Amino acid sequence: MKFFYKGVSEGKSLTGIIEAASYDEALLLLYDKGIDVEDLRQASAFDELSNLINQFRVKFGRVKLEDLIVFTRQFATLFDAGVPISTILERLSEQTVSFKLKGVVEQIKKDVDGGMSLSEAFARREDIFSPLYINMLKVGEESGTLDVVLERLATILETELQTRNRIKTATRYPKIVVSAIVIAFSIIITFVIPRFVSLFNKFNATLPLPTRILIGINNFVHNFWWLVIGLIIASIAFFKKYKKTPQGKRKIDEIILKLPILGKLVHKIYLSRIMRILGLLYKSGLAITTSLDIVAEATGNDVAKQAILAIRSYVESGATISRPIKSSEFFPDIVSDMVAVGEETGRLDEMLFKVSDYFDEEISYAINNLSTAIEPILLVFIAAMVLLLALGVFLPMWDMVKVVH
């Protein structure tokens, strides 16, 4: 039998489903697990469904960037207040609204209580926490500045969230327009064009080419919808598998940086992120080679990663950081010039932050003008779609007038 329970364990409220032969056995099993039972009853179908949904959300759900930022800020505040890490993790697992993050934090707490370091426990959940997040935690643990590192991490995540939101806002209008055209296209080829077919068949007349193209599209989708869905699923699966290979990841990252309009924007976002993270790590007292290693893993782009590792190898052999940056195709001249000034004045971290701020301004300008830059491409697409639809609808109407007369 399945029983639904509600109880408290170590001051934490719990609910769930447990299997047992009887009510008394279920009660005993829960007490053995250290749960003070407040409510225990035979599970209904609704209880089982709710429990299944919660398990699904914990296993397959995703952690929003907003939730991660709040978690990081709260962690920094509690740690700065002198609260033990185990207690912090327990409180944060209770407070978070994300089912996925709640389960992750609970597992991290178990690992930390079992003797694992905080960075090691976080590293076991690389699907949630980026290499940057994990390495920064390691730096904070080793340097004794975990609260400062967490605050800086939250700042980096907030900057990333702001950039994402601004890009979404800038591309909202194009998305609405394209969606409206696609819906109109689907309605016309599904409901309007077939009526012309039956009408023209009565007069044994030939439909115009644009109309025949629309009919062909409609017939293909109607008769081979399973093939269309299969091709879409197969394409997505192939893309994901290809992206996981070293060659595929590198090729896709190269293509992203070469995309018209968006490629330059993405490049600037990577440059800003690299400079800011490198500045934060260098300011934390890490050696420049170690900082470059961490930044290389945190970029998320193989082209940027290889460029940073090449710089690291030069620095390791005794060169200044500005020299290999100047010879790298990934970094524009302004980066090497400002880094060189930082090295000469002994204020490298400040100059790295200024470079990041410079690219943040460039990113802001590019995002503000993103809609304007996309408009010509959007107009060509809309014009082509409207022309095809207009010819497909109006040509048969004109031809029908000729046939009737």
**Tens-place pLDDT, residues 112-145:** 888 888 888 988 888 888 877 888 888 788 777 7
Average pLDDT over residues 76-104: 83
State pTM to two decimals: 0.71
Any idea which of 207-211, 266-270, 335-339 has the lowest mean pLDDT?
Answer: 207-211
Any idea which of 55-59, 84-88, 104-108 has the lowest mean pLDDT?
Answer: 55-59
Q: Is the pLDDT of residue 261 over 70?
A: yes
Mean pLDDT over each residue of the chain, to the nearest integer: 81
Q: Is the pLDDT of residue 301 over 80?
A: yes
Higher pLDDT, residue 12 or 276: 276
Average pLDDT over residues 145-153: 83
Higher pLDDT, residue 200 or 380: 380
Q: Is the pLDDT of residue 283 over 70?
A: yes
Q: Domains in the chain, please, with CATH?
A: 2-60 (no CATH), 65-129 (no CATH), 145-404 (1.20.81.30)
| Ranges 48-62, 315-329, 365-379, most confident | 315-329
* Residues 49-78: tens digit of each pLDDT: 676 666 665 565 677 888 888 888 888 888
pLDDT, residue 133, reads: 84
In the 3-class helix/strand/coil scheme, how is the chain assigned residue by residue?
CEEEEEEEECCEEEEEEEECCCHHHHHHHHHHCCCEEEEEEECCHHHHHHHHHHHHHHHHCCCCHHHHHHHHHHHHHHHHCCCCHHHHHHHHHHHCCCHHHHHHHHHHHHHHHCCCCHHHHHHCCCCCCCHHHHHHHHHHHHHCCHHHHHHHHHHHHHHHHHHHHHHHHHCHHHHHHHHHHHHHHHHHHHHHHHHHHHHHHHCCCCCCHHHHHHHHHHHHHHHCHHHHHHHHHHHHHHHHHHHHCHHHHHHHHHHHHHCCCHHHHHHHHHHHHHHHHHHHHHHCCCCHHHHHHHHHHHCCCHHHHHHHHHHHHHHHCCCCCHHHHHHCCCCCHHHHHHHHHHHHHCCHHHHHHHHHHHHHHHHHHHHHCHHHHHHHHHHHHHHHHHHHHHHHHHHHHHHHHHHHC
pLDDT, residue 216, reads: 82
pLDDT, residue 382, reads: 82
